[in-house]
Amino acid sequence: MSGGERLRVLVAMSGGVDSSVAAALMRDQGHDVTGVTLKLWGGESDSGCCSVSDVEDARRVAAQLDLPHYVFNFAEDFNANVVDPYVADYASGRTPNPCVECNRSLKWGRLLNRARSMGFDALVTGHHARITRDGSGRAELRRGEDPAKDQSYVLAVLGQEELAMTLLPVGEMTKADVRVHATRLGLRTAAKAESMDVCFITRGGRNAFLDARVPAAPGPIVDGDGAVVGAHDGVRGFTVGQRRGLAVAAGERRYVIDVDAATATVTLGDRRDLLRGGIALSRVTSTGASIADGTTVLAQVRAHGESHPAVWHGDHIEWVEPQPRVAPGQIVALYEGDRVLGSAIVV
């Protein structure tokens, strides 16, 4: 995709301000723009993403911008590829990242394939990240212009094939700039609140959501020496690093340092007990060239967390300085400066 070329683009419009402005920017650059909103979840939602009201907001913004707009129903795939694995992971003591898996399997999976089959040149989203080109024309995923809103972490699972057909027009803007632009255009989403992380669970409703889907499996809560200090009704309510909602009286602050679904045991410890020298990894992806063994990278383990230097060894990383244990099932995004190198899932 060369500069100045008029493209036929499909814009994924979530009903939020970022994707609304992304659609407007593409239109104003002279591209042939079509909007699409995905119907993913039919249950209760108050997240500001994927709900019935969000579909309506996207439709009205498209009408304001005089763009054709469609709704694709991917609910069956969403349940199979995002919701069901999310529940299964928590039941097995893992902590999944459903938004990343939605990007991997739905937005840059089924939707991107649909865009190709319909003859579109590019898929456009409102993510705060940037795609640049190296000297040979290969796509490079980079952090967004606004550090506080950077979303490159949740896109780190994308490969060269996906990045080559993706445009992220708001990645060069701050969030404030996006809202100013939306206000200037009179878009109904200009002041809309940001979405929550998990679109299919209501605020504060994770445990209730899981309780309805995972049979209770009571077990002990133990300390680092194996002494029983409490009891629980299921490991699905716990994640490594958690320190709230433990229902255990203690004179010092305690954290979940391990969740063993096989024995239904939750182990607590102090902050020092969480520290680890490295992370075992699986399902490694690369945004471009492979990373050479022994390379020092910056590893980020939360969407808006800090990155820390680590040495890459293919199936694991070694921290330069010990870091708190990362929950199995979480995503590690790998960086060189502001460029995303790839990702992996914590074992």
DSSP bridge pairs for 143: 129
pLDDT in tens, 143-160: 999 999 999 999 999 999
Structure tokens at 262: 């096989």
* Residue for token pair 């659609």: 23
Residue type, 91: A
Q: What is the reported pTM? A: 0.93
Picking from 168, 169, 172, 141, the residue whose alpha carbon sits closest to that of residue 157 is: 141
Q: Where do runs of H (alpha helix) occur along 168-233?
A: 175-185, 206-211
* Residue for token pair 């809202």: 179
**Domains of the chain, start order:** 8-126+168-185 (3.40.50.620), 215-269 (2.30.30), 275-346 (2.40.30.10)
Kindly list the catalytic residues: 102, 199
For the CA atoms of 328, 330, 336, 338, the dihedral, rounded to the nearest 10 degrees, stands at: -160
pLDDT, averaged in runs of 10, over the chain (347 residues): 82 96 98 97 64 89 98 96 96 94 97 98 98 95 97 98 98 98 97 83 86 92 95 92 85 92 96 97 94 97 96 97 97 98 98
Picking from 77, 129, 115, 81, the residue whose alpha carbon sits closest to that of residue 101 is: 81
